[in-house]
Amino acid sequence: MFISSAFAQTAPAAAGGSDMQSSLMSMLPLVLMFVVLYFVMIRPQMKRQKEHRTMIDAVAKGDEVATSGGVLGKVTRLGDAYLSVEIANGVEVTLQRSAIAQVLPKGTIK
């Protein structure tokens, strides 16, 4: 009663290959979003991971470090996967290498 009749329209005659073009155009926003995501999020994260890995590999005995838990100390022993950090006179803790968050400048800890 209040609804008017809807008439179906016939699709215009498609030129050869326009189906392929329209499907590529519909994929374009998805591809553009992935490209933006790669350059804004994925690539910088990979760069930070590489820098962290090289920093951890360069840690030497006597370096002053900050752990991811916020503990400051001086490296006393190195191993392949673990290292010992002196956090106070006579107090050493064993940490995984990946727990090192930052190598501090010499003389930071007194």
pLDDT reported for residue 15: 54
- Residue 99's CB is within 10 A of a number of other CB atoms, namely 18
The answer regarding whether domain 59-104 maps to CATH 2.30.30 reads yes
Amino acid at 41: M
Inform me whether the pLDDT recorded for 43 exceeds 90. yes
Instruction: Give pLDDT tens digits for 19-31.
Output: 778 888 888 999 9
Asked whether the beta carbons of 41 and 33 are under 8 A apart, the reply is no
Instruction: Give pLDDT tens digits for 55-99.
Output: 999 999 999 999 999 999 999 999 999 999 999 999 999 999 999
CA distance 110 to 105: 12
Edge-to-edge, what's the strand order for the sheet holding 82-88?
A: 91-96, 82-88, 72-78, 64-67, 100-104
Higher pLDDT, 110 or 4: 110
- Residue 100's CB is within 10 A of a number of other CB atoms, namely 20
Higher pLDDT, 4 or 46: 46
pTM of the model: 0.66
